[in-house]
Structures are given as structure tokens and as C-alpha cells.
């Protein structure tokens, strides 16, 4: 089987593709391929190999952690395919497991890269705030029994918007810079359901879950609102709250 190494640097006989993928991350060890364990990248590459009869490398817009979900992960790959786009789309979904689906598929423009061409990434974190846990929601929401104050949550999240050094809330996935820009960060409440939507140019490893962990300390009354800014300015992860569980996090959309 011929190895296709890079979706961006395709061989002349190959076609370059981009696709939007959704997955339930509960039974995956994250997106990125690992030597052992089930990953989203691994499942996608197995499906592509089965359909195209070649070894195809998949690159994602981001490397979601173990247990994190996605509604709008974007991938790129190169493959030899002489049939229609619709046939490839249908064939991939036919062989993929039930917890992964290709939502759309198209040709990738010249010079496009699923990660480096991305301008904005939108994550959502879901919290179920009620005294008793919900077994049916445990895979997709973090249960918090202590009452949360939506006004405190909003005040804390406003501190995060803008260009900041987020070293206290994560580790860089590439290079050494920990400076990122958040365009929006806000909470919404619908009865016992709290959702945190955050949009940024890029995120550090574990950053969203650590931000949520800190904000929940504020919302539950354990931290004053000012503590979020203090931790941010400290650039020290030891001062941050523990990260919120992976189950509540979902990659919603990637913009180019």
C-alpha cells in the first residue's frame, strides 16, 4: 500500500479533501493517533484505507483530549479516488463505527491546512446543575450539585476575553508561546443546564477545561471573581483549579 504522508503536499495523482467530522468522544483516547488505544484519527484512517485501498494520513484541526466530543472537527487528507465525492462520502460513513460520522466532504483548496489555516475555534462546555446526577446525561455533561450563580460565572468569563498569556491554564501544543486570543467567552442558563461557549484563535492543551474549572469555583462561591484575573496574571498552573471533566466539552465549529 502506498503511503500518503501529508494532506497539504499531495502527489500529483492524488486528490486533496477536507471534511467535517462529528464524534462521541467518550470511548476514545482522544483524536490523535497513539501506539495503543482507540483514537478518532485511527478510526478515520482505518475507514479510509478500507474504502480507498491505500494508506491515508488524516490531519485534524485540533487534538481533542480523551473523552472530549466534537460536532465540527475538521480534517484534511489526500487519497486516490476516481469516483464521485458523494460515493466517497457515503462509503466512509458506511464503514465508520456508530460514534463517528463524516458530516460533509469537499475538495480542499490549494495551500489549505486543517490546523494552520484555521482562524477561530468554538468550544462548548455543558454543566448539569441540580442536586441529583442524571445517568442518561453523564457522557455529555458535567454534574455539579452545588447551586451556581450565572452572574458570577459571567463576570469571571469576561476577564478572559482578549489577548492574554494563558500559561496558568494549559500547555502549548506547538512551540513555546502560551499567548492566545479569546474573541468571546460567555455562559448561558436554561433551567438546570449551564453552557459555556468560548471562541478563540487557538487553545492550549487542556485550556478550556481548566478555564471551566476556575469559573465553576467562582460560580459555586468558592472563589471571588477577582481570583480568575489573579491566576491568569500569575502564569502558574499550580494556582489554577483542577480541570473540569472531559465529558462536558465539545468542539462545535472551526472557522477558516
102-131 pLDDT, tens digit each: 999 999 999 999 999 999 999 999 999 999
CATH code for the domain in which residue 212 is found: 3.30.70.660
**Same domain? 143 vs 42:** no
* 169 lies in some domain: yes
**Same domain? 250 vs 136:** yes
Task: Give the chain's radius of gyration (CA, Å).
Answer: 20
**Same domain? 143 vs 226:** yes
| pLDDT-based confidence at residue 1 (cuts at 50, 70, 90) | very low
* pLDDT computed for residue 12 by the predictor: 39
* 115 lies in some domain: no
* pLDDT computed for residue 9 by the predictor: 46
Q: Could you tell me which residues are beta bridge partners of residue 101? A: 22
Which residues, including other chains, have CB under 8 Å from residue 9's CB and lie 6 or more apart?
none
**Same domain? 151 vs 127:** yes
**Same domain? 97 vs 195:** no
**Same domain? 159 vs 72:** no
**Same domain? 136 vs 92:** no
CATH code for the domain in which residue 31 is found: 3.30.70.580
* pLDDT computed for residue 174 by the predictor: 80
| pLDDT-based confidence at residue 2 (cuts at 50, 70, 90) | very low
Report the percent of the chain where pLDDT is more than 90. Answer: 93
104 by DSSP, 3-state: which? strand
155 Ramachandran zone, left/alpha/beta (phi>0; psi -120 to 50)? alpha
Distances in Å between the Cα of 191 and the Cα atoms of 147, 149, 174, 221, 243 are 12, 12, 39, 19, 24
Rounded distance, CA 62 to CA 40, Å?
12
**Same domain? 7 vs 66:** yes
Considering the candidates 6, 27, 65, 104, report the single residue annotated as catalytic: 65
* Span 53-63, average pLDDT: 96
**Same domain? 206 vs 134:** yes
**Same domain? 82 vs 191:** no
Rounded distance, CA 109 to CA 122, Å?
22
Q: For 11-57, write each residue's pLDDT tens digit.
A: 435 899 999 999 999 999 999 999 999 999 999 999 999 999 999 99
* 13 lies in some domain: yes
* pLDDT computed for residue 209 by the predictor: 98
* pLDDT computed for residue 137 by the predictor: 98
Q: For 141-162, write each residue's pLDDT tens digit.
A: 999 999 999 999 999 999 999 9
User: Would you call 6 a catalytic residue per the annotation?
Assistant: no
Range of the domain at 161: 120-255
* 113 lies in some domain: no
* pLDDT computed for residue 13 by the predictor: 56
**Same domain? 25 vs 141:** no
Boundary (domain end) residue, out of 107, 139, 169: 107
Cα 164 to the center of its chain, rounded Å: 20
Domain count, the chain: 2
**Same domain? 92 vs 131:** no
Amino acid at each position: 500500500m502506498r503511503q500518503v504522508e501529508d494532506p497539504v503536499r499531495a502527489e500529483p495523482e492524488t486528490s486533496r479533501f477536507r471534511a467535517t467530522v462529528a464524534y462521541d468522544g467518550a470511548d476514545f483516547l482522544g483524536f490523535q493517533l497513539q501506539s495503543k488505544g482507540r483514537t478518532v484519527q485511527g478510526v478515520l484512517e482505518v475507514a479510509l484505507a478500507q474504502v480507498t485501498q491505500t494508506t491515508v494520513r488524516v490531519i485534524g484541526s485540533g487534538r481533542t483530549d480523551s473523552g472530549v466530543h466534537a460536532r465540527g472537527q475538521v480534517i484534511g487528507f489526500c487519497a486516490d479516488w476516481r469516483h464521485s465525492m458523494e460515493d466517497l462520502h457515503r462509503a466512509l460513513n458506511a464503514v465508520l463505527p456508530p460514534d463517528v460520522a463524516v458530516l460533509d466532504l469537499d475538495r480542499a483548496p490549494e495551500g489549505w491546512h486543517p490546523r494552520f489555516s484555521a482562524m477561530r475555534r468554538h468550544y462548548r462546555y455543558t454543566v448539569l446543575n441540580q442536586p441529583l446526577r442524571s445517568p442518561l446525561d453523564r457522557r455529555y455533561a458535567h454534574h455539579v450539585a452545588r447551586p451556581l450563580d450565572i452572574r458570577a460565572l459571567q463576570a469571571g468569563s469576561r476577564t478572559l476575553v482578549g489577548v492574554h498569556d494563558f500559561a496558568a491554564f494549559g500547555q502549548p501544543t506547538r512551540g513555546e508561546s502560551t499567548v492566545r486570543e479569546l474573541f468571546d467567552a460567555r455562559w448561558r442558563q436554561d433551567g438546570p443546564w449551564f453552557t459555556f461557549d468560548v471562541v478563540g484563535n487557538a487553545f492550549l492543551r487542556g485550556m478550556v477545561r481548566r478555564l471551566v474549572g476556575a469559573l465553576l469555583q467562582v460560580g459555586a462561591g468558592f472563589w471571588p471573581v477577582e481570583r480568575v484575573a489573579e491566576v491568569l496574571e500569575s502564569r502558574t498552573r499550580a494556582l489554577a483549579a483542577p480541570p473540569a471533566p472531559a465529558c462536558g466539552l465539545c468542539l462545535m465549529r472551526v472557522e477558516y
